[in-house]
Structure 1
């Protein structure tokens, strides 16, 4: 479904990604693991059109999307939930969700998707008229995910969905990620909580200083000593 082929990405003169290649098959959950500053968000931004690779190519459903405008990529079926949630604080929950569907004109479908989002996240339904800035961190994360789903993505990119959340809420968010995947959406997940990410992912890649250093099935990586020592707390 998605193939990143040997991309180099720079911020000015600083190279952030070096010959990075990953692939995602339809229906999978693929996780990208790495320390802060390893290049995870840079890779996600390159896929969703916020950064343009200097070299290499990004293919989505066998078509190059490298360097295309972000809104074009959303229209093609990729939604990105950025790190830090970025909800529109002075707008209501409902208005945030409506914005997620701004590229769509199928009113009945949009209504259906409102209901689907409210089924996934009952708490958002309770707070539909509330200003988003007054929501808790967990509720804002739910809203950011709900808003991305309103575009009906075939590929959903999640950047650090559990960051700053209480452990109980983290479990809820991960359960919902699995439900979204089971309903047919492919997922690329960046997550500091490597144990949690590997527990739901099919495959994983490990990125260090802008390069992919390990990849394999979740089971293989969970068993890898290199990964255990670096990211899984050494046990």
Structure 2
């Protein structure tokens, strides 16, 4: 579904990604783990068209998308849940969700998807008329995920969905990620909580200082001494 081949990405003269290659197959949950500053968010921004690679290629569903405008990539069925939620705080929950469907014109299907988002996130239904800026961090994360789902994506890329959330809310968010995946949405997940990410993923990549240093099934990486020592607290 997604093939990234040997991409280099720079911020000015600083190279953030160095020859990154990875792939995501349809139906998978693939996770990228790594420390702060490893280049995880940069990679997601490059996939979704917010940054352009200096070298290499990105293919989504067999078509090149590197250098394409972000809205073209969303329209092709790839949604990005950004780090830090980025909800529109002076708009209601419902308005935020409707905005997620701004490239669609199938009104009846949009209504159906809105109801489905409310089924996935009952808390959002309770707060549908509330201003998004007044929500808790966990509720805003639910809203960011719901908004991305309103674009009807085939592939959803998520940046640190558990950041700053209470343990119970983290569990809830990961349950929903699994549920969305079972409904047919492929997921590429960037996450600092390596333990949770590896517990839901099928495969994983480890990113260090802009390079992929390890890859394998989630189970293999969970059992790797190197990964345990660096990311799983030595468990």
Q: TM-score, normalised by structure 1?
A: 1.00
Whole-Å separation in 2 of the counterparts to 1:19 and 1:3? 13
Whole-Å separation in 1 of the counterparts to 2:6 and 2:62? 16
Q: Which residue of 2 aligns with 1:21?
A: 21
Q: Which residue of 1 aligns with 2:190?
A: 190
Q: Which residue of 2 aligns with 1:218?
A: 218
Per-residue Cα deviation, 1:191-232 (whole angstroms, up to 9, x for no partner): 110000000000000000000000000011001111011001
C-alpha displacement of 1:62:
1.0
Secondary structure of the 1:58 match is strand
Secondary structure of the 1:53 match is coil
Whole-Å separation in 1 of the counterparts to 2:225 and 2:5? 27
Whole-Å separation in 1 of the counterparts to 2:107 and 2:59? 30
Whole-Å separation in 1 of the counterparts to 2:107 and 2:76? 19
Whole-Å separation in 2 of the counterparts to 1:167 and 1:182? 23
RMSD: 0.3
Where structure 2 has 5 or more consecutive residues not aligned to the other structure, the ranges are none
- Give yes or no for the alignment of 1:93 onto 2:89: no
Q: Which residue of 1 aligns with 2:68?
A: 68
Q: Which residue of 1 aligns with 2:102?
A: 102
Q: Which residue of 2 aligns with 1:31?
A: 31
Whole-Å separation in 1 of the counterparts to 2:46 and 2:166? 30
Per-residue Cα deviation, 1:129-165 (whole angstroms, up to 9, x for no partner): 0000000000000000000000000000000000000
Per-residue Cα deviation, 1:72-131 (whole angstroms, up to 9, x for no partner): 000000000000000000000000001000000000000000010000000000000000
Where structure 1 has 5 or more consecutive residues not aligned to the other structure, the ranges are none
Q: Which residue of 2 aligns with 1:119?
A: 119
Q: Which residue of 2 aligns with 1:204?
A: 204
Q: TM-score, normalised by structure 2?
A: 1.00
Secondary structure of the 1:26 match is coil
Q: What stretches of structure 1 move > 2 A for 4+ residues in a row?
A: none
Number of positions where the alignment pairs a residue of Structure 1 with one of Structure 2: 235
